[in-house]
């Protein structure tokens, strides 16, 4: 009896359906291919490579040009100590002065002040005097005390006549003193500066070239020839 009961229980268990194996899975649908996106990716890669190539080619197409290292005043010529060479990208729309043309550039004058760091272009220079229209260059010799100690090319100055002259009077010995001093120019520009020094003694004398209006040039020249010019800094430096 016990054997039959076990057999019947086992028969009942065998009627339960077997579970699916672990490795059995539902089939997945095939992935959808997108050829348009792939083509776009390839196109972007090609464009990037082309752009990089163009940059390399442009960087290689460079020329050696003139660059100012020391200030060049209006009317001055270029000196070797005033310039250096620098490489720039070639651009036919820009009138660069190439380093190989430096020798010819020395025969020209600056039209206006050219400051350090400027890459030189042809239109900055002229074959003439280089002076701005309506201006004249006047040389003055100054003694110590007739100019500021820190005066330099490019400064804006006022020019004064500091002469005080005396004229003889009548036979009784009386005399009259007249002062011809006063402001001559209120807005002149220092163009060049040269100190009168030697290797052992500093005299304190100074020679300047001033840019003044042509109408004031005669008065400044007369005062300069008499040694009675003094200059002071004014706003505009």
CA distance 232 to 235: 10
Q: Say if domain 62-126 classifies as CATH 3.90.1210.10.
A: yes
At 94, list the tokens. Answer: 């820009």
pLDDT of residue 112: 77
Across 13-42, average pLDDT: 63
Q: How confident is the model at residue 178 (pLDDT cuts 50, 70, 90)?
A: very low
Higher pLDDT, 10 or 185: 185
Tell me: pLDDT of 119 over 90. Answer: yes
Beta carbons of 87 and 67 less than 8 angstroms apart: no
CA distance 160 to 163: 9
pLDDT of residue 88: 92
CA distance 109 to 99: 17
Select, from the ranges 17-26, 53-62, 75-84, 168-177, the one with the highest average predicted confidence (pLDDT). Answer: 75-84
- pTM of full prediction above 0.75: no
User: What's the half-sphere exposure (Cβ side, CA atoms, 13 Å) at 104?
Assistant: 7
Tell me: pLDDT of 83 over 60. Answer: yes
User: 108-117, 187-196, 215-224 — which is least confidently predicted?
Assistant: 187-196
User: 10-19, 56-65, 78-87, 201-210 — which is least confidently predicted?
Assistant: 10-19
In degrees, rounded to 5, the angle at the alpha carbon of residue 120 between the alpha carbons of residues 114 and 122 is 105
């Amino acid at each position: 009896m016990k054997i039959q009961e076990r057999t019947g229980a086992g028969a009942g268990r065998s009627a339960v359906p077997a579970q699916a194996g672990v490795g059995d899975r539902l089939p997945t649908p095939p992935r959808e291919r997108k050829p348009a996106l792939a083509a776009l990716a390839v196109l972007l890669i090609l464009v990037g490579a082309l752009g990089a190539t163009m940059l390399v080619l442009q960087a290689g197409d460079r020329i050696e040009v003139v660059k100012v290292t020391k200030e060049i005043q209006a009317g001055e010529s270029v000196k070797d100590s005033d310039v250096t060479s620098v490489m720039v990208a070639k651009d036919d729309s820009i009138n660069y002065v190439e380093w190989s043309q430096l020798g010819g550039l020395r025969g020209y004058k600056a039209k206006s002040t050219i400051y350090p760091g400027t890459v030189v272009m042809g239109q900055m220079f002229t074959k003439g005097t280089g002076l701005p229209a309506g201006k004249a260059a006047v040389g003055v010799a100054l003694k110590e005390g007739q100019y500021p100690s820190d005066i330099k090319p490019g400064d804006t100055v006022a020019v004064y006549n500091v002469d005080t002259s005396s004229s003889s009077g009548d036979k009784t010995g009386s005399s009259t003193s007249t002062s011809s001093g006063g402001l001559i120019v209120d807005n002149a520009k220092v163009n060049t500066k040269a100190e009168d020094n030697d290797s052992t003694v500093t005299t304190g004398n100074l020679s300047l070239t001033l840019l003044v209006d042509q109408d004031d040039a005669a008065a400044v020249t007369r005062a300069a020839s008499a040694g009675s010019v003094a200059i002071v800094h004014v706003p505009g430096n």
